[in-house]
Amino acid sequence: MYVPYDMSKVKVLDLSQNFSADSPSFAFYEGPTVKWVKRLAFEGVNAQFLSTTNHIATHLDSPIHFYDPGPDISGIPLDKLVGPACIVDLAQFGVGDYQIYGPEHFEQWEAKTGIKIERGDILVIHTGYHHFYNEDWYKVHNQEKADLPRCFLKHPGPQSRFVEWVLDRGIRWLAVDCIAADHPFNTNVRKARPDLIPEVEAVIGMPLDEAFPWPKDYQCMHVKLFPHGVFHAENVGGQIDEVLNQRVWLGCFPFRFRGGEAAFARIVAFVEER
């Protein structure tokens, strides 16, 4: 197991997205409100009031989001949130708009990189769709522009068979650089944008009811993984492009939210400088 013992030689990279009043919310979710309630000029202090749902910007979903026994955010041990991680770049395999990824892509990645995804690893999935998010503060190539419809509606995602592979391989938890861990048309996006269904079906080559049968496989990355204690962080981004196709030490740091079904989180990669 790779462990960066000498922290003086470790570079810390932020894989989180910005949060602001402009951070967009998911389909049928309320967006954030940020209000100034005190100003330095008048009260001698700056202070703000926030009102928001949890599933905005970079956040961690706890099992209780879809599985009532939980645990909640505060019930996830910190040592489970920190550990070895594989940063898998799916974009290099041409996985793009509306497409489905599966176990074969990760096994292809192992063969190409020579890195084995071990039991107990955190699996970070890079599709490149974080570049289209309006709060992406760090663009390595500087050519991608914010494109929220593409970010929300067209990112790739898995089918239920990927869930089985995750459990078989003993993945600790996952992080994705997409708005959601599930394919957008295996979420309520299907209800929000039914006009796009023919376009999606043309790309994936099958009816949606065959690819993602509801209710059997609805949001399978949530419904079928959370009861096994395998949760995920969504909307990762930031400096992720600097650590593609590597094994790193990763930490996810949500606030200690008792009863929380999700929480904003800072995702950090600790990379040994060579």
Which has more confidence, 1 or 171?
171
Q: Taking residues 214-222, what's their average pLDDT?
A: 97
Q: Scan for tokens 């892509």, then name that residue.
A: 105
Residue 86 has what pLDDT? 98
Residue 250 has what pLDDT? 98
Contact 23, 31 (CB under 8 A): yes
Q: Scan for tokens 């190409």, then name that residue.
A: 112
d(CA 264, CA 255): 7
Tell me whether the omega of the peptide bond preceding residue 215 falls within 30 degrees of 0, making it cis.
yes
Q: Taking residues 12-28, what's their average pLDDT?
A: 95
pLDDT in tens, 78-108: 999 999 999 999 999 999 999 999 999 999 9
Q: Taking residues 12-37, what's their average pLDDT?
A: 95
Provide the 10 A C-beta neighbour count for residue 141: 8
Residues in the chain: 274
Residue 145 has what pLDDT? 84
The pairs formed by 63-66 with CB atoms below 8 angstroms and a separation of 24 or more are 63/226, 63/227, 63/229, 63/231, 64/260, 64/261, 65/222, 65/226, 65/231, 65/261, 65/262, 66/219, 66/222, 66/223, 66/226
The band of 5, judged by pLDDT with boundaries at 50, 70 and 90, is low
Residue 243 has what pLDDT? 96
pLDDT in tens, 250-270: 999 999 999 999 999 999 999
The CA-based diameter of the chain, rounded to the nearest angstrom, is 62
d(CA 166, CA 174): 9
Burial 75-84, CB ≥16 within 10 A → b, else e: ebeeeebbbb
Residue 141 has what pLDDT? 55
Pairing relationship of beta strands 157-158 and 100-101 according to DSSP bridges: parallel
Give the chain's radius of gyration (CA, Å): 19
Residue 6 has what pLDDT? 74
Quote the pTM value.
Answer: 0.95
The band of 3, judged by pLDDT with boundaries at 50, 70 and 90, is low
For the chain, percent of residues with pLDDT exceeding 90: 91
Q: Return the axis-axis angle of helices 103-113 and 160-169, rounded to nearest 10°.
A: 50
Q: Which residues pair with 36 in a beta bridge?
A: 48
d(CA 230, CA 78): 14
Please give the mean pLDDT across all residues of the chain: 95
Contact 101, 88 (CB under 8 A): no
pLDDT in tens, 143-179: 678 999 999 999 999 999 999 999 999 999 999 999 9
